[in-house]
Amino acid sequence: MRILIADAFPEEHRNRLAAAHDCDYAPDTTAEQLPAELSGYDSLVVRSTRVTAQALDSADALRLVIRAGSGTNTIDTDAASRLGIRVCNVPGRNAIAVAELACALLLAIDRNIADNVADLRAGRWDKKRHSQARGIFGRDVGVVGLGQVGLAFAERAAAFGTRVHAVAKPGRDRQTLERAQDIGITFVDDLPALARTCDVLSLHVPATDTTRRLVDRDLLAQVRPGTIILNTARGDLIDEDALIEAMEAKGVRAGIDVFADEPTTGTGAFASRLAAHPHVCGTHHIGASTEQAQEAVAAETVRVIEEYAAGTVLHCV
């Protein structure tokens, strides 16, 4: 097989692929460059690099695209299915890393860590200004989405002594319900009820037609003043203008790892009103960026490619 890895990928796993296949590694490929790079490859591995319809149309031999991560929203799956190209993801392998980041953002916001650090780095001591934390223990935390990341976050939030809540949803599998019970999650009827009940709302659902702008003006009208919103899932889940209004009107604060219009490759300027807002503790879509998570994702990616090479029918998106 000819494989192009168009994003950073751990060396050990690259070598495993290269031992059995013709494998090229071009981790700095941008979405704009991809269409000119794909000729002759039958498999493509990407993490953040956007795979557009134009790139897929220009690929003369491509049969498989693997997203080394959970979401496939960076890949034009409609174009892929029109062209008969399979798209696979690697869900769950980075769940703990994402949950850890959500906890880090929660504590960082509560303790105003970003401003603390900024003041100290600027040579300023202002203990009074930074002595305003409310504390996490005993707070009500709402988890939106009880997939692998949501459950991992819920478990960790409960360990801080919070009361964890989620929305009841028909058809949840037994394993999820048992884990929810072990964690002590209590269920409310719907998302507005969750917003009214909680001091913290953490988003752990994929971006789909039904979840896009889940956090909109109507929902934000329901949240309590000072609520902390955490988004380590997808930027599209939040109406960013509405969130900024709620931050200004009701003192809502937010831990945001993902943005609606975030760059998908490289480094450079990022003009985002949300990222720049003083009520936001923002990060660079780094939820999955731990060595542990990237190792696990890469190992699973290699396994999927080997299955494909061996002719196994893949469970693709």
Binding stretches for ligand MLT (CB under 6 A):
47-48, 69-71, 94, 285, 288
Check 13, 204, 234, 253 and give the catalytic one. Answer: 234
Amino acid type, 167: V
Q: Are the C-beta atoms of 88 and 317 separated by less than 8 Å?
A: yes
CB of residue 195 vs ligand MLT: minimum separation in angstroms? Answer: 25
Determine whether 144 is exposed, middle or buried from the number of CB atoms within 10 Å of its CB (0-12, 13-18, 19+). Answer: buried
Place of tokens 């300027």: 269
Q: Which CB, 39 or 270, lies closer to ligand MLT?
A: 270
Place of tokens 């769940």: 95
Q: Are the C-beta atoms of 102 and 202 separated by less than 8 Å?
A: yes
Strand order in the sheet with 228-231: 186-188, 163-167, 140-144, 200-203, 228-231, 253-256, 280-282
DSSP string, 52-85: -HHHHHH-SS--EEEESSS--TTB-HHHHHHTT-
The rounded distance, in Å, linking the Cα atoms of 216 and 290 is 31
The rounded distance, in Å, linking the Cα atoms of 274 and 257 is 11
Q: Which CB, 71 or 263, lies closer to ligand MLT?
A: 71
CB of residue 95 vs ligand MLT: minimum separation in angstroms? Answer: 9
Amino acid type, 20: A
The rounded distance, in Å, linking the Cα atoms of 12 and 28 is 18
285 is catalytic: yes
50 is catalytic: no
Q: Which CB, 47 or 165, lies closer to ligand MLT?
A: 47
- Whole-angstrom CA distances from 266 to 29, 44, 255, 284, 308 are 9, 18, 22, 11, 30
CB of residue 121 vs ligand MLT: minimum separation in angstroms? Answer: 27
CB of residue 294 vs ligand MLT: minimum separation in angstroms? Answer: 8
Check 262, 295, 306, 307 and give the catalytic one. Answer: 262
Amino acid type, 152: A
Q: Which CB, 62 or 297, lies closer to ligand MLT?
A: 297
Q: Which CB, 35 or 147, lies closer to ligand MLT?
A: 147
CB of residue 42 vs ligand MLT: minimum separation in angstroms? Answer: 23
Q: Which CB, 94 or 162, lies closer to ligand MLT?
A: 94
277 is catalytic: no
CB of residue 70 vs ligand MLT: minimum separation in angstroms? Answer: 3
Q: Are the C-beta atoms of 224 and 199 separated by less than 8 Å?
A: yes
Please list the active-site residues: 234, 262, 285
